[in-house]
Amino acid sequence: MATIATPTKPDLLQTLPSDAARQIQWRFADRYDLQMLVQSVRSVARGPVARLVAGGGRNSHDWTPAKAELLEAFDQSGITAVFMEPEQGGYIAGPKNLALALIAFELAWVDGGAATASLAGCLALAPIHERGTAEQQAKYMQLAAPPQAGEDRKPLRGAFCLTEPIPYVGVDTGMLNGKLRVAEWKEGEDPILQVEKRGRFITNIGFANFVTAAVDSGDERIKGSCMVILEEGDPGTFDRGTPTRKLVHQLSSTGDPVFSLRIPASRIVGGYDVKDGVIVPRYSHSDVIEAVFRRTRVTVGVMTAAKLLSAVEPVIRYQRGRFRGGETATPGSVRYELGLQARQDTLHRLVDIWATGEAGASLGFAAARAFDELDPLEREAGKLFVAQGGTTARARAKLQREVSERAATLVALPANDPTRALLQSDPLLRFVLLDSQADVLCPATKLWNTGWGAQMMREAVSLMGGYGITEDCPGFLGNKWMDAQLEATYEGPEAVQRRQLSITMANPLFLAQFKAWINEMRAIASERPATGACTLATAMGMWLWTLERLQHSKDADGDRLYQSARQGVTFPLADALCWLLAARCQILDVLELEQRGASDPAVSEGLAGLLNFMADLCHVQSARASGEVSRICAELVFGYNRHPAWDEAGYRGCFQQADLDSLEGIMPGINSYGLDVIGNDGSHPPKAGPCAKCQGAEQFLSFQSKLATCLTGCRLSKDRAAEAISKVMIPEALDYPA
């Protein structure tokens, strides 16, 4: 059986990772339906999408007939129908988070805008899917599904409209200006409502037939906010607005619409009750968007990871061929054969890009799988909570808190304690465990994959030299770099994800699991030292120590450090966690490949080389992640203490030269130990002040020094990975046009 090796001359990577290897890593080797889906999405991505980009389709802001043809390609290839259940016209039963993530991955491999155009349709339907009434679900899901054989209709297309023109909804989704009023309410009939909503940057608006829009009550007969479904044919104004002059994602349609429409109250997403003559929507707009974004943000994160991985092959080809045709680059010469890859830095940078792409994909797919597992569990838990008396939001929250506390106690028990089995068998315990993980994995994927991914896309562009920033760049890398910034922005920019993480990562149940993950990494490291799991475990311990310290510390002025207003504390700590989570998922995926690869005939050939390379990438990424965590945590732990000055208080901690001189007689050499010595004339050493002490942070320093030595070997891994990249076989040409 092939295992991850640590010899000095290990097997090298032979080819780029195959589909079969990816199926194992991202855990869909047993899902034939998803494997078929990947193939059909790929044929659209590398066919019509790539041809449209290569033909200049991105050069216009308008929604053109050529772009519209992509929607038909999505319908015909089965992409559109993935979101629906079989009885609604779909073909995949059950949760679809992984399926949607795979679609996003394949489309974004070529063009992020095309991926967004496809996903925005799901985003429009998501409020209905998550919180809609049975009637709303039956109607809109079926109408949005592509027509079945013999049906003569066009599928409905949707847009999701939350963001409003400044100064209203942006990051702060509570500042709604869109209004809902009662236009007509006849005794015994459904009220007719008047909707006034202006949108800003709304995707799919160029062709949408329906819109799910967030609105607030503008009438005392309606309580609070909600989401409503608007249709193109509703009486009033359905103005799509002018197209947004975007610099990115030009294959999707974006604009600033204006709606002034009359709709029946049955279009309130999730329905309503009438209490004392007031319409009370069952779900506020916040309830709905929370359920929606929780899932859809994962797919956005997967998109940026796909772009990084898609950059590998074009960069290798460019580097190798760089000097071919020149007089000095004759076949057989280093210049001819290796081109730019004869230079270590070009290889090392590509190793970093590849490792980031792997970590991002592993994190994103892990998050998607977590939601697939969570979806049915959430429904089951909902029923169980109601059965136990959780009929109101407050009662349910109380019950959930109690179950979470129980789960945290169980997670902390030793691995061989028999009561731990309850964590797997009790659906409520399983639910709270997974829910607390998903609460972290989703914002982490969106934040790290897109934010750090955008930085690393710049690196990928830079490796192509001037070519990288031209339209001719193979793999459309320049577009992908710019597009990554949109992925970091829409569906809530980085601040939104950091804000959410700063709450969810402090959940005791998540932290109990995180502690168990540290042990898990150590156990992996003892069997597979080459993965960098030990380094990661040390960095995870450092992060946890820092969080606990910041939660219980004050700054030099006596103000609490870990609190929502102090984004300077909570946000960097959230960033640090993301590095750790991504690197952990990457290691787990490589272990999966090791465990299952040998028995898969499509993977076993060349597996040893692939595993060695993937483990080296893990080591590189773990080292980088640990460095980031160490840097961030050190700033937070020490940065809020005031540095001692050369003043009265500072002098108190210093030696006096006269004292040292008198001690020299009984303790010879003491003079050479004094760092902060005040001279007999009052002079002090030329520095900012007496050296700062580390009171209470000694353990942090021991983590730091341990971490530094834990980095042993990581650069050897990088060298090995670089060598592998310089020798790996790639196809003669890219499989989509430039």
Ligand X SMILES: Cc1cc2nc3c(=O)[nH]c(=O)nc-3n(C[C@H](O)[C@H](O)[C@H](O)COP(=O)(O)OP(=O)(O)OC[C@H]3O[C@@H](n4cnc5c(N)ncnc54)[C@H](O)[C@@H]3O)c2cc1C
* Minimum CB distance to ligand X, residue 483 (Å): 10
* Minimum CB distance to ligand X, residue 479 (Å): 14
Tokens of 683: 């002079």
- Complex with ligand X: residue 193 or 214, whichever CB lies closer: 214
* Minimum CB distance to ligand X, residue 372 (Å): 24
DSSP structural state of residue 158: E
- Please calculate the CA angle 151-157-163 and round it to the nearest 5 degrees: 165
* Minimum CB distance to ligand X, residue 520 (Å): 33
Cα-based distances in Å from 509 to 96, 220, 232, 445 = 26, 41, 46, 20
Tokens of 601: 């005939």
* Minimum CB distance to ligand X, residue 211 (Å): 10
Cα-based distances in Å from 7 to 3, 622, 645, 717, 720 = 12, 20, 53, 11, 11
- Complex with ligand X: residue 163 or 500, whichever CB lies closer: 163
CA distance linking residue 703 with residue 436, whole number of Å? 27
CA distance linking residue 476 with residue 50, whole number of Å? 9
Which single residue brings its beta carbon nearest to ligand X? Answer: 170
In the complex, the residues that contact ligand X under the rule CB under 6 A are 120, 160-163, 170-172, 201-203, 246, 249, 254, 486, 489-495, 567
- Complex with ligand X: residue 484 or 509, whichever CB lies closer: 484
- Complex with ligand X: residue 103 or 347, whichever CB lies closer: 103
Q: CA dihedral defined by 676, 677, 682, 683, rounded to 10 degrees?
A: -70
* Minimum CB distance to ligand X, residue 111 (Å): 14
- Complex with ligand X: residue 117 or 542, whichever CB lies closer: 117
* Minimum CB distance to ligand X, residue 493 (Å): 4
Give the helix/strand (H/E) hosting 706. helix 698-710
- Complex with ligand X: residue 162 or 710, whichever CB lies closer: 162
Q: Give the residue carrying structure tokens 């969106």.
A: 446
In one-letter notation, the amino acid at residue 667 is M
- Complex with ligand X: residue 199 or 270, whichever CB lies closer: 199
CA distance linking residue 104 with residue 310, whole number of Å? 13
* Minimum CB distance to ligand X, residue 213 (Å): 9
- Please calculate the CA angle 736-737-738 and round it to the nearest 5 degrees: 125
State CA 293 to chain mean position distance. Answer: 12
Q: Do residues 49 and 107 touch, judged by C-beta distance below 8 A?
A: yes
* Minimum CB distance to ligand X, residue 283 (Å): 17
- Complex with ligand X: residue 372 or 491, whichever CB lies closer: 491
153: left (phi over 0), alpha (psi -120 to 50) or beta: beta
- Complex with ligand X: residue 227 or 338, whichever CB lies closer: 227
CA distance linking residue 477 with residue 621, whole number of Å? 22
Give the helix/strand (H/E) hosting 551. helix 533-551
Q: Which residues pair with 729 in a beta bridge?
A: 15
Q: Which residues pair with 238 in a beta bridge?
A: 259
Residue 229 CB coordination number (10 Å):
24
- Complex with ligand X: residue 564 or 705, whichever CB lies closer: 564
* Minimum CB distance to ligand X, residue 182 (Å): 25
